[in-house]
Amino acid sequence: MSELNLELKRPIVICGPSGCGKSTCIRMLINRYPNSFRYCVSHTTRPRRPDEIHTRDYNFVSKEEFDEAINKDEFIEYVMFSGHYYGTSKAELKKAELEKRVCLMDVDIQGVEKLQKTNINPVCIFIRPRSFAILEKRLRSRSTESEDRILQRLAVAHQEMQYGISEGKFDAVIVNDNADKMVQEVVDVIRQFNSKSSLSILKTSSAQLYQAGKIWDFEMVTKVVAPRYIISCPMHK
């Protein structure tokens, strides 16, 4: 498949509750466009799962190593979740810059809020399932965590989904009905925001954008939230 030939190389932040399809989305983007994207591998102090590989899924480090990196100001953002640290290192962002690729980042809502306050100017995309029941089914199908842990993740996921579809929080919200469709919609968002003409979107009405085919094709409500870009929130029953 051809590469995207993106002009601005703005980092792409993919966010969403556990089980929404973030990892699948990122993996498919890199497989389809290997010369356009580079995954920013986060650091974490949580234990490695049986199917995870060090430096591919996460940089698994001890709490002491993470604390040392914090003291050396090596992270652009880091958070504590369920007793474990997660962080994005400046070195990972630099690797993407040197390779002239767009950096793909998988971070939680706390991380998104911190990144939006930095000067890296990320495009923030929220992935959500069609329903909460589908999300619960996906989490339970993993069979890697206790019932208490699953219930904790579901409680957090509920809060994240409410936050994710709130006005002004993300540049785009995409429903994961189908992996291929989800990835194509993410690509459409990336193309829009990573082009030199993206700033003109604020001067264009939602009707003009829809008619011109510049907004991905599903039922939506479009809101202009200055000084950010147009946010397109899918509205599914």
Residue 229 located in a structural domain:
yes
Mean pLDDT of 161-185: 91
The pLDDT of residue 216: 33
Q: Which CATH number fits the domain that encloses residue 135?
A: 3.40.50.300
Residue type, 24: T
CA atoms within 13 A on the CB side of 24: 18
Q: How far apart are CA 148 and CA 226, in angstroms?
A: 41
Residue identified by tokens 């100017």 is 121
Residue 95 has pLDDT above 50, yes or no: yes
Active-site residue identified among 48, 49, 140, 149: 49
Q: 16 and 127 in contact (C-beta within 8 Å)?
A: yes
The pLDDT of residue 143: 72
Residue 203 has pLDDT above 60, yes or no: no
Q: How far apart are CA 189 and CA 109, in angstroms?
A: 19
The tens digit of pLDDT for each residue in 26-76 reads: 999 999 999 999 999 999 999 998 989 999 999 999 999 999 999 999 999
DSSP states along 38-60? EE-PPEE-SPPPTT--BTTTBEE
Active-site residue identified among 10, 38, 101, 153: 153
- CA dihedral of residues 151, 23, 173, 200 (deg, nearest 10): 150
Residue 92 located in a structural domain:
no
Residue 61 located in a structural domain:
no
Give the domain extent around 34.
12-40+102-234
153 an active-site residue? Answer: yes
The CA R_g of the chain, rounded to the nearest whole Å, is 18
Residue 151 located in a structural domain:
yes
Mean pLDDT of 121-125: 94
Residue 3 located in a structural domain:
no
Residue 6 located in a structural domain:
no
Residue 74 located in a structural domain:
no
Active-site residue identified among 142, 149, 191, 228: 142
Determine which of 50-59, 128-137, 190-199 has the lowest per-residue pLDDT on average.
190-199
Q: How far apart are CA 235 and CA 12, in angstroms?
A: 23
* Number of domains, the chain: 1
Determine which of 73-77, 114-118, 217-221, 229-233 has the lowest per-residue pLDDT on average.
217-221
Residue 177 located in a structural domain:
yes
140 an active-site residue? Answer: no
Q: 18 and 157 in contact (C-beta within 8 Å)?
A: yes
Q: How far apart are CA 46 and CA 110, in angstroms?
A: 17
